[in-house]
Copies of this chain bind each other. A is one copy, B any other.
Amino acid sequence: MSSITTHTMPIRVRYSETDAMGFLHHGNYPAYFEEARTELFRVNGGDYRAMEEAGLFFVVVSMTFRFRSPARYDDVLNVTVELERYSAAKLEHNYTVRRGETLIAEGKTVLALVDGNGQVQRITEKVPGIPAE
């Protein structure tokens, strides 16, 4: 399998994403992970927007976060996503968020593939870059 399985993208913390404690609010990490995941899909030749227009949708089944150190406004964070495992039923990604050498957060998501009616689809048959088993 020649797919690229990891990708790092920089994301700068917006002022609107901070909270009264002065830190990046933890509720923004799902969006950061999602943005990095989209980029990993893109570097593999995937186009998630076109996939949705064709009636296939990734849905998040579960997600886990562990926060190690706070991030602040204007920090440039390196969000790394890795496709850890896949099957016909689900994709499992791991994530790390770092500012330089400092580990900010870690996480994991599990995704399933559904059609426009919410019916579960076989990922290995439908998704470019995910080879049939």
Chain A residues proximal to chain B, CB less than 8 Å: 12, 14-23, 25-28, 30-31, 34-35, 38, 48-49, 52, 57, 59-67, 70, 72-74, 118
Question: With A and B bound together, what is the CA distance between A59 and B104 in angstroms?
Answer: 13
Report A105 CB to chain B, min CB distance, Å: 10
Minimum CB distance partner of A18 in chain B = B20
Report A8 CB to chain B, min CB distance, Å: 16
For A35, list chain B residues within 8 Å (CB): 12, 14-15
Report A31 CB to chain B, min CB distance, Å: 4
Question: B62 near A74 (CB under 8 angstroms)?
Answer: no
Minimum CB distance partner of A49 in chain B = B74
